[in-house]
Chain A
Amino acid sequence: MKVGGAVAAGLFLASAVVARWWPGTSLPPAGGPPVPAYAVQDMAAVLAGARRVGADVAFIQLLQYFGGGDANEAGGKDNTGPRSTWLPRFLPMSRRVAALNPEFHAAVLFAAGSLGFVLDRPDQALSLLEEGTAADPTFWEYRLYAGAVAYRKNQDPDKVIVFLWEALKYPDCPGILENILANLLKKRGDFRRAAEVYRHTIQTSRDPFSVDTARRQLDRMRRAGLAT
């Protein structure tokens, strides 16, 4: 018994030494919860060793919030004030997704695009993209989107179009941004390229809502004789 126990203790010690030698790849503690209401849910994901799944669920909750807001808070779906006052928890909920999975580029791009172009909060969009770049400096598309948001902030739609057109080439480009680009092109009277963007969305996007919107818009343009 004593020999077995001593050898087992030695093996535990050796395993602890191997664990100490681990390269710094394990994710750091996520810090304080960005949305305290979801702290228990997020902690459960970390405790179950399912950070990425936790981030996926958080992203779906963000999409649901974006779709309708929270009936119990000011700034929900029925808000009649300026867009910048809509969905006040959108930024912390986006940060929550990024805190759980810093590599969830599609979620950060979607959130930054929504903040910058739909909710009229370009400063928040830029701060989210900065945090994303700090977490993963190799994902340079963040800088591209930051450029587009910065020009949007400075009311320069032509430059926004240049940046978003470039972003369109990458598979991570969220469907919502593709629709925004098409709308900007239509406003500038460039219907040929707008139709091109819609066709690209229909062919490549995995978001049924974006595909449906693109299809309807393209049909409308065809009926008006603005696209073939």
Chain B
Amino acid sequence: MNAVWTIVRVTFLQQVRNKLWLAVLLYAGIMAAASLLFGAVAADAELTVILDLGLAAAELLGLLVAAMGAVTLVLEEMESKTAYLILTRPVPRASYVVGRFLGLLGAVLGAVALMGLVHVGILMLKGWEPSASYFACYPFMALKVTVVASVALFFSLFATSQASSVSFTAFFWLLGHFGPELEFLSQKSRSVAAAAGVKAFLFVLPRLDLLTYRDLLEIPGVAAGPLLARGAAYAALYTGACLLLSATLFSRREF
């Protein structure tokens, strides 16, 4: 346990030193520009636009940083051979993978929280009244970042290059928002084989649409609590599966 905690701490610091804060700075720049622009062009909907854009930008930047970080998380350590220093000690390879993953996740979620603070500040300056449903978006965002980072980590160990890992992750991220549409297409398909293929694909595809609570904001009767509980269960199971596959792949690697 101590070994895992040490790996988590070192990875967290490594990510912070890798100029993760630049993502927060970029976010602040985007939001400052957006608040000026939309104040002029969005008429009565200025606050709505800044709120939606801020949430989407925080999530997108968080996902980008998490995916890029996860893709290089173990690969870079293997290429630079720094992984050897740890793996020659009595540290199980699964612990190494989990520790690296948790460290990255901690750093990315910290950055997303900072982006949230910047967003709340800009909204308050515009006269926004805080609402519980807004703050409920952030735990869902964290779950989504966790799932995407685990997918990226798996592909980094499965694929042959960083470019292909990033491509596979981006593909899964896009299709992950397309769950209801894919189900709809499988129901409409006349080909039994195609319908079965889509259903099988849906089985391994992350259902990111279910974790996009910010698109359900203000819908009457949609309570965040029960959705969050289900979302947490879903993300834990899916991330667990990806981490297990990643650890299995990593344990079979020959150095």
Chain A residues close to B by CB (< 8 Å) = 1, 4-5, 7-9, 11-16, 18-19, 21-23, 25-29, 46-53, 55-56, 59-60, 63-64, 101-104, 106-107, 110, 136, 138, 174-175, 205-210
Chain B residues close to A by CB (< 8 Å) = 38-49, 52-53, 56, 59-60, 174-181, 184, 202-204, 207-210, 212, 214-220, 222, 226-227, 230, 233-234, 237-238, 240-242, 244-245, 247-248, 252
Contact status of A51 and B174, CB under 8 A, knowing A4-B244, A26-B180: no
8 other A-B residue contacts (CB within 8 Å) besides A1-B248, A50-B60:
A5-B248, A14-B237, A15-B207, A15-B238, A19-B234, A63-B41, A63-B42, A107-B45
CB distance from B141 to the nearest CB of A (A): 11
A135 (CB) vs chain B CBs: closest residue: B219
The answer to whether A106 touches B209 (Cβ under 8 A) is no
CB distance from A95 to the nearest CB of B (A): 17
Closest 5 CB pairs of A and B: A4-B248, A11-B241, A15-B237, A49-B177, A207-B43
The DSSP consensus for interface residues of chain A is: helix
The answer to whether A110 touches B44 (Cβ under 8 A) is yes
The answer to whether B241 touches A12 (Cβ under 8 A) is yes
Please report the C-alpha to C-alpha distance between residue A60 and residue B217 in the assembled complex, in whole angstroms: 20
Please report the C-alpha to C-alpha distance between residue A206 and residue B49 in the assembled complex, in whole angstroms: 12
- Give 11 pairs: A residue, B residue, CB < 8 Å, sorted on A: A8-B241, A18-B230, A25-B222, A27-B216, A48-B60, A49-B208, A50-B215, A106-B44, A106-B45, A110-B45, A205-B44
CB distance from B177 to the nearest CB of A (A): 4
CB distance from A34 to the nearest CB of B (A): 17
Complex partner residue of B52 from A27, A53, A205, A210, CB under 8 angstroms: A53
B42 (CB) vs chain A CBs: closest residue: A60
The answer to whether A23 touches B39 (Cβ under 8 A) is no
